[in-house]
Structure 1
Amino acid sequence: MKEYNIRRHYETKNHDKYKHLDMTQRLQKVEELKRSLVSQQTMFTKAKSQSEAAVKDSFIVAAEVAKSARPFTEGEFVKNCMIKVCDAVCPEKRQAFLNVSLSRNTVADRVRHLAANLQQQLVRKGKDFIAYSLAVDESTDTSDTAQLSIFIRGVDSSLCVTEEFLGLHSMHGTTLGKDLFEDVSRCVDKMGLPWDKLVGLKTDGAPAMCGQKSGLVGRIREKVQEENVTGELTAYHCIIHQESLCGKALKMEHVMSIITRAVNFIRVKGLNHRQFKSFLAELSSEYGDLPYHTEVRWLSQGKVLERFFELREEICEFMESKGKDTTELRNKKFLCEVAFLCDIMSHLNALNLQLQGRGRVITDMYATVRAFKTKLRLWETQTLQENLSYFPHCQTMKEQVAATIFPTTQFAEKLGILGADFTQRFADFEAQKSRFELLSNPFTADVESA
């Protein structure tokens, strides 16, 4: 401060209060005022640090609430639990826990701040991408509203890969190719991602997605060409979804429909369900219940088949006690088909799980699919030779029925059809075989065409 400003303030405000003090008393008064100032500053600093700690803690709890997809009101429940634990463990810290605000509105506000921060981080990372790809999926929720989800995977110059959820858009009108393109384009522009760095696009295989002219793939290719991009946009149908669709090539829906009717008879009515569980408990069965089969849950079919085969005798006895005809369920040929479908679905489910997870590279995923295609050829040959080493349920049924009843040749044909369907559906991946080999094993790749 300037000296004359201080003098003027002293003469107008404090001269009469301190004019009677001598020099020694003045020095003592100055020291006293300094100590008072330091004490005030310490109090405010302490209060500020406590306040910052309380805010940080509320952000931590809000992040956990959001990650677990719980309602925002859970914050108040968590706070009550923390206070009760504090009273038992460290009652002197009770006020610090009370200062943490976890009301519904506060948690919602914290989650909004976290989401905005994550988006800002993704925008900053996106500026450093030398290439990125998009994964787009459209599905209808329980309120019949179409939800478009968009994921991104980008790589920077240091080969650091970023894989994130880019956006979720509700589509209340039509879901044509132009509608999908508008939402995807709006999301890309909002994130500031350059179109000339887009190198890959993954869709769910719907016509509105993969149409070459009016579909999302065709429109994005036009957009990329407008940006004067010379590189090729590679479009794929989701590899996990295609693997799931391959199972339908077996054309054994008649087997699954009979099993589904039996399961629904037991599970739909509460009384039947309770009595069936009690029946299994009386028999000291290894399993205590039957699971439902849901079409959208791809792995559920294999689980239902496995459980049905293990409980086939118990299910027939229970249904007969209810006056139901079980002729179909006891048919030897039908049970052989159930055993085969159970074995092959367990192999398909294992393949599906191998393809799932974050950070998977397409070369490894396709190598897994190619290995499975080779296994199918091996299993077809072995089945024709009546070698069922990889089909334990089929082995069980073959030991229980006559050799003329067990349709070995029919099952071998099914394996051949399944292998052909894998080849057809993954033709777009086969077209990229040379690129995959360059990345997975550079020493065997053709250098001239790389």
Structure 2
Amino acid sequence: MVKVCDVVCPDKKQAFLNVSLSRNTIADRVCDLATDLQGQLIEKGKDFIAYFLAVDESADTTDTAQLAVFIRGVDSSLCVTEELLGIKSMHGTTTGKDIFEEVSKCVNDMKLPWDKLTGLTTDGAPAMCGEKSGLVGRMREKMQRENCTCELTVYHCIIHQESLCGKTLRMEHVMSTVTQTVNFIRARALNHCQFQSFLEEIQSELGDVPYHTEVRWLSREKVLNRFFELREEICQFMESKGKDSTVIRDEKWLHELAFLCDITKHLTALNLQLQGRNRVITDMYDAVKAFQAKLRLWEIQMQQGNLCHFPCCQTITSQASNAAFPNAHFADKLSTLRAEFTRRFADFEAQKFNLELFSNPFAVDAEKAPANIQMELIELQCNSILKAKYDTVGPAQFIPETMPQLRLQAARMLCMFGSTYLCEQL
């Protein structure tokens, strides 16, 4: 490093020489940084008027359960702070009681007031969402003991819900064939090398098929699309290796593959919309509602034989074949998927009024609002200056300090976690 400094910035050489690279010194500095960050979060936490937690538990490479807890807090200025609250290694059991004790310790260590906690988003595991012995039930009991007036809002991660909805299509027979074929090609280096050489020999525009990983939701779309594009080449290669390709050449199976490719692409697009940091829950809810509306449209169009939003299905139907494309069958699949979305996102539907109150307070009926915000809401709706400001800056920045109840309501919406995405990025 010092030699590089002689060339790049010789005037800073002494500063580099003063840096201690002792492992003990570095370890102490890491601890100092962690302590400083914790102190900063404690200071910020004193100003929170509402905060929300996201909790996710998963096992690491040593099969040790790691509990990740994130916090999103909002202060009186409606400024949002999103930080890691803690990571706890759980070497024993991971029951609801164990998880609650670790989460409770994180909250207490940061000196966060329990009466400011507005909700919790989990990965949906039984130990998390159990109403009696699970984390959710124990959190509610704790808030009752602390005499908290705010009701705990609980969400199952939107991204998990969306992924589970896709499983209702019951097309495992298609995915299993794709996975087995891809694994045969990719699992052994010789087969993989020969397949790549085969594609080069026939001058294929596409170079390879990627692996499919079940826990990585977005890999499914890539695998399916590449498999569909290379379906003929894959058949030829499998036959050259003495493998039966009857299923892959079956027209009915190809129809199923084409539909699965298209619907998976749509689900992946929604999945990507729901990911990311600092996502406001109303935006995530809007994305889900838009997808449900799309499903209704696709169902009608599928019944009519209109495949304009299903390009792989169009490709299959454009090729000469003996089997008719099963429009009614796939319309039923879309109907089932739409029903599952409605069922799984019922808890968000229950919060519909609060979500609309935050996203567009000028359109809600003041009579349906809680009594503590009705007067402020009427004043807000009748203020033309605030209406013009709302159109410019959006819901989080225009509510004046003279309306504390509406600001508190906005803070509770801003701090909500719609998913455990941040936990899973660790």
- The normalised TM-score by structure 2 is 0.84
Corresponding position of 1:411: 330
Structure 2 Cα separation of the partners of residues 336 and 435 of structure 1: 43
Q: 1:84 to 1:306 in 2, by over 3 A?
A: farther
Paired residue type of 1:268: A
Q: Contact conserved, 1:332 with 1:401, CA < 8 A, in 2?
A: no
Match of 1:321 in 2: 240
Deviation at 1:404, TM superposition (A): 4.2
- Encode CA deviations 1:223-247: one digit per residue, 9 max, x unaligned: 1011111221100001111111110
Rounded to whole Å, the distance in 1 between the matches of 2:108 and 2:313 is 55
1:337 Cα deviation (Å)?
0.7
Say if 1:136 and 1:151, in contact at 8 Å, map to a contact too. yes
CA distance in 2, matches of 1:359, 1:118: 19
Residue aligning to 1:48: none
Superposition map of 1:347-426 within 5 A: 347-402=266-321, 404-426=323-345
Q: Which of 121, 132, 140 is equivalent to 2:40?
A: 121
**1:357 Cα deviation (Å)?**
0.9
Structure 1 distance, partners of 2:298, 2:338, is 10
Question: Contact 1:133/1:200 (CA < 8 Å) preserved in 2?
Answer: yes
Question: Are 1:168 and 2:94 matched, yes or no?
Answer: no
Higher deviation after alignment, 412-421 or 286-295: 286-295
User: Match for 1:145 among 64, 67, 73?
Assistant: 64
Structure 1: runs of 5+ lacking an equivalent: 1-79
Is 1:187 the counterpart of 2:106 in the alignment?
yes
d(CA) in 1 for partners of 2:205 and 2:33? 47
Contact 1:332 1:405 in 2 (8 A): no
Distance in structure 2 (CA, Å) of the matches to 1:445 and 1:401: 54
Offset of 1:85 from its aligned partner?
3.0
Q: How does 1:242-321 map to 2 (within 5 A)?
A: 242-321=161-240
Q: Partner letter of residue 373 of structure 1?
A: Q
Q: 1:98 to 1:395 in 2, by over 3 A?
A: same
Partners of 2:121 and 2:12 lie apart in 1 by 53
Give per-residue Cα distances to partners, 1:97-156, cap 9 Å, x unaligned: 333333444433332222221111111101111110111111112211111110101111
**Sequence identity percentage:** 71
**Greater gyration radius:** 1
Helix, strand or coil: the match of 2:92? coil
Alignment of 1:323-338 (within 5 A): 323-338=242-257
Measured in 1, the distance between the counterparts of 2:265 and 2:32 equals 44
State TM-score, norm by structure 1.
0.79
Pairing partner for 1:440 from 359, 362, 369: 359
1:109 corresponds in structure 2 to 28
Matched-pair contact (CA < 8 Å) for 2:238–2:244: yes
> Which secondary structure does the structure 1 equivalent of 2:119 belong to?
strand
Q: CA deviation at 1:188?
A: 0.7
CA RMSD of aligned residues (A): 1.5
Residue type at the aligned position of 1:442: P
Residue 130 (structure 1) aligns with: 49
Pairing 1:27-176 to 2, within 5 Å after superposition: 80=1, 83-91=2-10, 93-176=12-95
With over 3 angstroms needed to count, the CA separation of the structure-2 counterparts of 1:271 and 1:104, relative to structure 1, is farther
SS in 1 for 2:118: strand
Secondary structure of the corresponding residue to residue 88 of structure 2:
strand
Q: Report the 3-state secondary structure (helix = DSSP H, G, I; strand = E; otherwise coil) of the residue aligned with 1:448.
A: helix
Amino acid of the structure 1 residue aligned with 2:201? E
State the number of aligned residues.
Answer: 369
CA offset digits 1:145-186 (Å, max 9, x no partner): 111110101111110110111111111111111111111111
For 1:376, give the aligned amino acid.
L
CA deviation profile, 1:182-220 (whole Å, cap 9, x unmatched) = 111111111101111111110111111111111110110
In 1, Cα distance between equivalents of 2:108 and 2:165: 36
Q: Distance in 2 between matches of 1:92 and 1:359?
A: 41
Corresponding residue for 2:373?
A: none
